[in-house]
């Protein structure tokens, strides 16, 4: 594997291989030096907390150096292009870029411009492949199995603008899950027909039927027009409230890629419930990103 642009470019064997490797890094506190001579550059043109921090932790745990690039204080502000920025940093001896950008396709363009490995850390509403990988690892651990055959997963929220949903739908489908999307009609994606997914509009209709409820954030940074009558109505219909939680079984699970909009996507108390996997998802960001970095930089390419 030279790059990781999206889950849709992986086959089942590659997905399993990355997850198997990630499992070997879970709870592995002792730093390894397998990427000792390597330097990675996180090019985050869009904000991030968990993805950037866990890529940096993953690189440091493997012995790699991490360039401290801050788009907000860079010469992008003087009018330098993304291409010139990437090529300038490449000249400094970088082994891989980790790229987040508000536009889909920028990671591929940077790979074309520079010729060095690029890992997509989220591009527009296109893909967020390492999020999907950590979601799969979290479900492997929670369900104690490597596939999702017969497992019912309902995504709830803003799919029209969600790269998390697009990557995780691909990954969960590949593992055999049965998927439902629940949202107002304005938040369903226009490219729906590419996935074998049931479309619903009422969370209460599906909440008991699914093994996992995966909440997708309102992507306010990408929403350019009114997609719902009011926030109050959205919360009433789609928030995982305490009342909805009380109707769920003991073995039903709740996921969210984060950041979580408390009181909009779910009540604060839901985040503390043992059925909620959000903190496990965050923790799994490190072993998954170690596996991706190791696969791209640690062996034959
Ligand atoms: N899930 C996710 O991508 O979070 P950040 O935006 O904080 O990286």
Mean pLDDT of 101-122: 98
Three-state SS string across 190-236, please? CCHHHCCEEEECCHHHHCCCCCEEEEECCCCCCCCCCCCCCHHHHHH
260 Cα: distance to centroid of ligand 1 (angstroms) = 10
CA distance 169 to 132: 8
Residue to mutate (ligand 1; options 124, 258, 265; most atoms within 8 A of CB)? 258
Listed residue (171, 177, 166, 169) closest to 143, CA to CA: 177
Residues with CB under 6 Å of ligand 1 are: 48-51, 122, 128, 131, 257-259
Q: What average pLDDT does the structure give for the chain?
A: 93
259 CA → ligand 1 middle, Å: 6
| C-alpha of residue 142 to centroid of ligand 1, in Å | 21
User: Which of 135, 149, 181 is closest to 285 using CA atoms?
Assistant: 135
What's the confidence (pLDDT) of residue 300? 44
What band does 192 get if pLDDT is binned at 50, 70 and 90? low
Q: What percent of the chain has pLDDT over 90?
A: 84
Range of weakest confidence among 50-54, 170-174, 218-222: 218-222
Least confident residue range of 58-67, 99-108, 135-144, 292-301: 292-301
Asked if 38 and 65 count as a contact pair (C-beta separation under 8 A), the reply is yes
Integer Cα distance of 301 and 3 in angstroms:
9
Centre a 10 Å sphere on the Cβ of residue 175 and count the other Cβ atoms it contains.
20
- pLDDT (tens digit, 9 = 90+) per residue, 235-245? 999 999 999 99
Separation of CA 102 and ligand 1 centre (Å): 13
pLDDT digits (tens, 9 = 90+) for 252-277: 999 999 999 999 999 999 999 999 99
What is the greatest pairwise CA distance in the chain? 57
pLDDT at residue 161, rounded to an integer: 82
């Amino acid at each position: 594997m030279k790059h990781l642009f999206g889950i849709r470019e992986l086959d089942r064997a590659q997905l399993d291989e990355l997850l198997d490797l990630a499992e070997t890094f879970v709870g592995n506190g002792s730093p390894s030096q397998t990427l000792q001579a390597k330097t990675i550059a996180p090019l985050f043109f869009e904000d991030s907390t968990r993805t950037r921090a866990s890529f940096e932790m993953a690189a440091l745990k493997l012995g790699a150096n991490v360039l401290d690039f801050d788009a907000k204080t860079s010469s992008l502000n003087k009018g330098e292009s993304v291409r010139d920025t990437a090529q300038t940093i490449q000249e400094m001896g970088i082994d891989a870029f980790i790229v987040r950008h508000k536009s889909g396709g920028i990671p591929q363009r940077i790979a074309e411009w520079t010729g060095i490995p690029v890992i997509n850390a989220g591009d527009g509403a296109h893909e967020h492949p390492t999020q999907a990988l950590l979601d799969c690892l979290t479900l492997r651990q929670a369900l104690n199995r490597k596939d999702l055959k017969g497992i019912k997963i309902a995504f709830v929220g803003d799919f029209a603008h969600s790269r998390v949903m697009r990557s995780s739908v691909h990954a969960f489908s590949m593992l055999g899950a049965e998927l439902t999307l629940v949202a107002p009609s304005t938040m369903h994606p226009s490219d729906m027909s590419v996935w074998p997914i049931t479309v619903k509009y009422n969370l209460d209709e599906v909440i008991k039927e699914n093994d996992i409820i995966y909440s997708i954030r309102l992507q306010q940074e990408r929403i350019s027009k009114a997609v719902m009558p009011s926030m109050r109505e959205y919360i009433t219909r789609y928030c995982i409230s305490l009342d909805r939680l009380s109707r769920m079984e003991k073995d039903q699970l709740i996921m969210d890629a984060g950041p979580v909009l408390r009181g909009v996507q779910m009540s604060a108390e839901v985040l503390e419930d043992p059925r909620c996997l959000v903190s496990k998802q965050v923790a799994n960001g490190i072993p998954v990103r170690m596996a991706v970095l190791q696969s791209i930089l640690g062996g034959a390419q």
